[in-house]
Amino acid sequence: MDAAFRLLAHTSPRDLTAIAIATEAGTAPATLYIYFRDVQDMLYALSESATADMLSAFAALDVFHDNGRVAADSEAFLAMLAEQWDRHGAILYYRMMEADRGEPRFAALRGRWAEAVLDRFARLLQQAPHLKPPLDEVDAYAESIVLFASIERLAGAIQREPKLRIPPERMRAAQARVLTRMIAPDG
């Protein structure tokens, strides 16, 4: 898995082969099949690891519990997300691509990550004092999905497109402002 992770720094996950991974690991290609059914199975294991790392980092932040802290929490969350994309970008992009293609295992991984964030966003949106009448549970969750999807996609785009017209730190600052305006504009 370490060899595959190193190769992902300069090779598309779709171009990884058992031979390339084995060569990088200094072993025979058949060794991969002792542990994994195929290369995609290994990429799934790497995706599981990246997802677990993201969930741990998110839990350690302990953010999005209080509408009065949304601005600071947004900045901390987006910095953590950028760090995760810097660390696991190639595999997170692959996880996103496979989930978008409808591959159930990858969709479930992305869903585990999304649920952690969505639940907190939705709770804050339901408590948002500026929303009159308050959002019900379904509408709060729907708006959370819109926020999360844009944040996740942009995190991937920032990591994959280093030549954007706007520097990554300015994009993250814009995301934090938008998130704050949506959840707690006075926060």
CATH of the domain at 148: 1.10.357.10
The parent domain of residue 70 ranges over 38-183
Per-residue confidence (pLDDT) for residue 80, from 0 to 100: 95
One domain, residues 29 and 60: no
- 93-103, pLDDT tens digit by residue? 899 999 999 99
- 26-39, pLDDT tens digit by residue? 999 899 999 999 99
One domain, residues 8 and 31: yes
One domain, residues 74 and 124: yes
The position carrying tokens 């290369």 is 39
More confident site: 163 or 107: 107
Q: Residue 76: exposed, middle, or buried by beta-carbon count in 10 A (0-12, 13-18, 19+)?
A: middle
DSSP code of residue 130: T
One domain, residues 11 and 56: no
The answer to whether the pTM exceeds 0.75 is: yes
Among positive and negative, which fits the CA dihedral 20, 21, 27, 28? negative
One domain, residues 46 and 21: no
Per-residue confidence (pLDDT) for residue 21, from 0 to 100: 94
Per-residue confidence (pLDDT) for residue 60, from 0 to 100: 96
One domain, residues 129 and 56: yes
The position carrying tokens 């290994």 is 42
In whole angstroms, what is the distance from residue 104 CA to residue 159 CA? 25
**What's the mean pLDDT in 135-161?**
89
**What's the mean pLDDT in 115-133?**
91
